[in-house]
Structure 1
Amino acid sequence: MLALAVELADYPFDPSAPCLGEALSRTCGSSLRMSSEIDLTDVGLKISACAVGQASAAIFVRHCAGRSEKDLAVSLAQIESWLAGNSPLPDWPDIQQIEPARDYPGRHGAIALPWKAALDALSNGVGPR
């Protein structure tokens, strides 16, 4: 998971981007701010989270380009259901790399941060949804 966290340096946060969003985990206090274009390209992240949250953000940013608000909402619902033990591994590339963190409920909020921040960014951005 630490190797994934190192990837985040490639995604600097841009406060002038058209879409800005943020999310906070109530369980652990982790936070994530996201900048992006309308189509979730040129994503930038500013994250204060454990290695699990950072790994989740790296997995998200690898595969988020071009996804719609609806796609992200479906993925977030799948992730939350999986974390609760109610469904199989979500349909998101590389998500299996954070599967060991499922056993730690205190980290579940950090895992969901990038999807929540992206939904917030897209809802605050300009353009079609």
Structure 2
Amino acid sequence: MTTDADLFKLYSTRILALAADIPLTDRLSNPHSTVKKRAPLCGSAVTVDLCVADGRVSKFAQDVKACALGQAAASVVGANIIGRTRAEVETARNQLRAMLKSDGPAPDAPFNELEVLIPARGFANRHGSILLALDATLDAFDDATNSCCA
């Protein structure tokens, strides 16, 4: 059963600060790929614009319409995504999923600040929103790679 104390921990000052300061929110004018993902349980949505160069994220933008938890996750992603490979993004997403669903550890650096979302483990209805930024980035990475190499 969720208590008021659980909710207070969930919406910590750090989560709210991250949610209020999401980087890279100006859309790209000519992205290699644009992907919009939506979390059906809560309605959160993230649109990612992505450019890839030499197998790494070279440009990134995101439009985040999510709860504070999804916004906080997108903030950490935006602050650390430039220069990352697809494998690094996939590892971060898999580690975040395991952290939320299987009590795994926080993702490795540079995405280790996602540990602030550990209190969301007990709120399965928010996991989709928290994973959106990384999920959309992976889909955009795949789309950009396929369209650039087709």
Range class of TM-score, shorter chain: 0.7 to 0.9
TM-score by length of 2: 0.76
State the SS of the aligned residue for 2:116.
helix
| Contact in 1 for aligned 2:49/2:62 (Cα 8 Å) | yes
State the SS of the aligned residue for 1:59.
helix
69 and 116 in structure 1: CA distance in 2 versus 1, 3 angstrom threshold: same
Matched residue type, 1:63: N
| CA-CA distance at 1:2 after TM superposition | 2.1
| Contact in 2 for aligned 1:22/1:120 (Cα 8 Å) | no
Q: Distance in 1 between matches of 2:104 and 2:16?
A: 26
Q: Distance in 2 between matches of 1:79 and 1:113?
A: 11
Q: Distance in 1 between matches of 2:24 and 2:105?
A: 31
Equivalent residue number for residue 112 of structure 1: 131
| CA-CA distance at 1:54 after TM superposition | 0.4
Gaps of 5+ in 2: 1-14
Q: Distance in 2 between matches of 1:101 and 1:18?
A: 33
Equivalent residue number for residue 82 of structure 2: 65
Residues 83-124 of structure 1 show CA distances to partners (whole Å, capped at 9, x for unaligned) of: 112422221231122222222111100110011010111111
124 and 15 in structure 1: CA distance in 2 versus 1, 3 angstrom threshold: farther
| CA-CA distance at 1:22 after TM superposition | 2.2
- Count of equivalent residues: 128
Aligned counterpart in structure 1 of residue 70 of structure 2, from 39, 43, 53: 53
| Contact in 2 for aligned 1:76/1:112 (Cα 8 Å) | yes
| Contact in 1 for aligned 2:103/2:121 (Cα 8 Å) | no
The percentage of counterpart residues that share the same residue type is 26
* CA-atom RMSD in angstroms: 1.9
Matched residue type, 1:76: R
- Which is greater in Rg? 2
TM-score by length of 1: 0.87
Matched residue type, 2:134: W
Aligned counterpart in structure 1 of residue 33 of structure 2, from 6, 15, 19: 19
15 and 107 in structure 1: CA distance in 2 versus 1, 3 angstrom threshold: farther
